[in-house]
Structure 1
Amino acid sequence: MLIISTAIATGEDTTGLVDFDLLMCAPHFIGDGTSLHQSTHELLCIVTSSKSDTELIEELGQAKDWRASLPPAYESRLSGPKSAIGKAAAKVNFLQMQGKEIGGHTFSRQQRGPKTTALIEHAFTKEQTVKILAHCKSNKVQADHVSRMMYTAVNLRSHLSPIDASTYWFLALTYYNIVLPSFLPASPAVFWHRARSAKAQTLRTTTSPYLVSRALQMSKTRGSRARGEPQPPPPAEALAPPAPSAALIGLSLIGNLDRTYVRASYPSSLELQSVTTASRLKPGGMLLLEHTFGEKLWLHLCWDEMGFEDGQVERFWEELKKAVEEYLC
């Protein structure tokens, strides 16, 4: 869906520049954030192109099998275990991973009305961003390792088998949890130790030979749960009840968007000021997003403001910004 705003005169502008907001929307099942940002970049290239409307229409009208551009389901492009023993080992590994996901440290959820999605953002200055990246590097982590201590996604694009379709519109994600003790760090050394622990857990997940098989099993499990199908009971030998596994918050770590929105591709008259990413949430949902753009570190928080105690998320947001400035700047 493309929504285009109409410029409204608000007074004299000595620069001759006009502000526009461009809203791009897509259902998550056809692509991920990488797909949507790349598509937005290409749309901006078309809109600012020096080609005439006639030239663009001719280019669009060229013979093309559009159906061949549609990618197959990502599950069909992932190669899971073939042998019976390999499938059994993968299933055992998946169940073991589920048993290690210990959580339960969550916000107090209180659905006070129909879901109402709120979005707030904060950009650190270029100077602050340089300090943040330098501190992360000196402590042998990246900025996303500092915040990746909760529920987040893994990009599976490098594990997909090649296809003839040229499109980048496909979904290639699976999910995992970072599990860390829930206590306030007594010193910066403890904070950075936990960041390195998050990095180590991430590395074990992304380099595991079972990553693909876990992704396939996770896809089946999440699909079954979303359709409301009855879930298999726990094994009879499980004497103790399972540990709490609810995650504190979801994370979306998109990375450096300056590599996607290549400024040299646009005319000098176009200046991109900011990029915001959000996602549809279920009632009581919350998602923290992080990326760099314009050489700045950006944080976005998207949540159902009717799913939590009044003011609770706003207080968390203010303390989060203070924590970044205290430990990273």
Structure 2
Amino acid sequence: MPNVGNGGKLARAVGKEEYLRSEARLMGDQVFAQNSTKRERRTIVPTFAYSAEETKKILANCKAKGVTIAHAMFALCNIAWSRRASSTVAPCMIYSALNLRPNMLPTSDTDASSSYFHLAVGYFNIVLPCLLPSTLATDDLFWYRARMTKAQTTKAVKTPFLISRSRETNNVRRGRAIKWAKVDDKAAAAAGKLPLAKTSENAFSVTQKLGPESSPAVSERDQEKPQEPAWKPAPQRALMGMSMLGNLDGMYSHKTFPTLQLQSLTTGSRQRSGGLLLFAYTFAGKLWMSLGYDVNGFAPGEIEGFWKEVGDLAGEVLL
């Protein structure tokens, strides 16, 4: 990715401060009930598939309201959850991925150290209220929150701080990944699947490869114990993650294989125990919504009831 501003220290400092402030503004305290009993992860992917005729109607309705199906998905999950939530006072936060390819610099063919593979993905959050006003029809509320999602998405994509936010997010997620890698390696070593000495060396070598230039320097001031804030920070817990894959018919060339009829595809994600991620996309002219989650990670009936509510609400407001 390009440097922040002119690449100077001031530009990086401003970018980091803006990132911290944008993160501090996030609010969310709606979460699914977890399973009280620790069990082995088992991921299932229940899916709603709509016919080509239904898909055309859904897309036409979204276009008429000035939103996309991606915006509608956030509103759909928000209201479906609100109908089942024990309290609707706290807002609902949902995270999603952001395409960074338009902001990437071209890779030089002569750079032997470069990779052919790039995960050009950033992240952003959508925060929506959970209140269900009795004086507002469900249909009107749904499209209003879809437009709220559109406004927040546009703001996240078009912010002049997109590069700095993405770089700071990378630093945070990199540190988190190293931390969890050490935890996983220690667990594997305890189970006899990996020598502990090798685990330590790997963790050390990964940290060393980051180097002082790619890791943010920690000053003496940063090492000081932070003062307790005068106010209690707002909770920042996300309900779920969503991945809007778009129209996959442009990726799968159906006409290239005339003797084969591609009917469906199976989504999948690398999840930890208790993970949950919703995929939405069009394929073979149909709209698909797939919910991949750890069936053993949540309270019995928690996700099943939510998913049924999503399907019922979709039929109520989209068709």
The reply to whether TM is greater than 0.5 is yes
SS at match of 1:178: strand
CA 1:167–1:126 in structure 2 vs 1: closer, same or farther (change >3 Å)?
farther
Task: Mark the CA change 1:88 to 1:284 in structure 2 (over 3 Å): closer, same or farther.
Answer: same
Q: Deviations over 1:17-45 (max 9, x none)?
A: xxxxxxxxxxxxxxxxxxxxxxxxxxxxx
Determine which of 238, 244, 254 is the counterpart of 2:235. 244
Tell me by how many angstroms 1:167 deviates.
8.5
Q: Which residue of 2 aligns with 1:302?
A: 292
Question: 1 CA distance for matches of 2:226 and 2:256?
Answer: 57
The residue aligned with 1:259 is: 250
TM-score (norm 1): 0.72
- Residues of 1 paired with 2:248 and 2:147: CA distance? 24
TM-score computed with the length of structure 2 as normaliser: 0.74
Name the residue aligned to 1:110: 35
Q: Which stretches in structure 1 are left out of the alignment for 5+ residues?
A: 1-76
Q: Distance in 2 between matches of 1:127 and 1:233?
A: 62
What RMSD over aligned residues (CA atoms) do the two structures have, in Å? 2.3
Assess, with a 3 A threshold, how the Cα gap between structure 1 residues 193 and 236 changes in structure 2: closer, same or farther.
Answer: same
- CA offset at residue 168 of structure 1? 6.7
Deviation at 1:119, TM superposition (A): 1.3
Aligned to 1:299, what secondary structure does the other structure show? strand
User: Are the equivalent residues in 2 in contact too, given 1:129–1:297 (CA < 8 A)?
Assistant: yes
- Give the deviation of 1:93 after TM superposition: 0.8
Give the AA of the match of 1:280.
R
In terms of fraction of residues, the more helix-rich structure is 2
Q: What is the number of residues matched between the two proteins?
A: 252
Equivalent-residue separation in structure 1 for 2:264 and 2:8 (angstroms): 50
2:143 to 189, 192, 207: 192
Offset, 1:136: 0.6
Change (3 A) 1:167 1:84: closer
Quote how far apart the aligned CAs of 1:312 are. 1.1
- 1:161 match: 105
Q: Which residue of 2 aligns with 1:221?
A: 172
C-alpha contact (below 8 Å) 1:111/1:284 kept by paired residues = no
- 1:101: Cα distance to partner? 1.2
Residue 9 of structure 2 corresponds to residue 84 of structure 1: yes
3-state SS of the aligned residue for 2:227?
Answer: coil
For 1:106, what is the secondary structure of its paired residue? coil
Structure 2 unaligned residues grouped into runs of 5+: 76-93, 181-221
Secondary structure of the 2:127 match is: coil
Aligned to 1:170: 118
User: In the alignment, what sits opposite 2:47?
Assistant: 121
Helix, strand or coil for the counterpart of 1:148? Answer: helix
Higher relative contact order (CA 8 A, sep 6+): 2
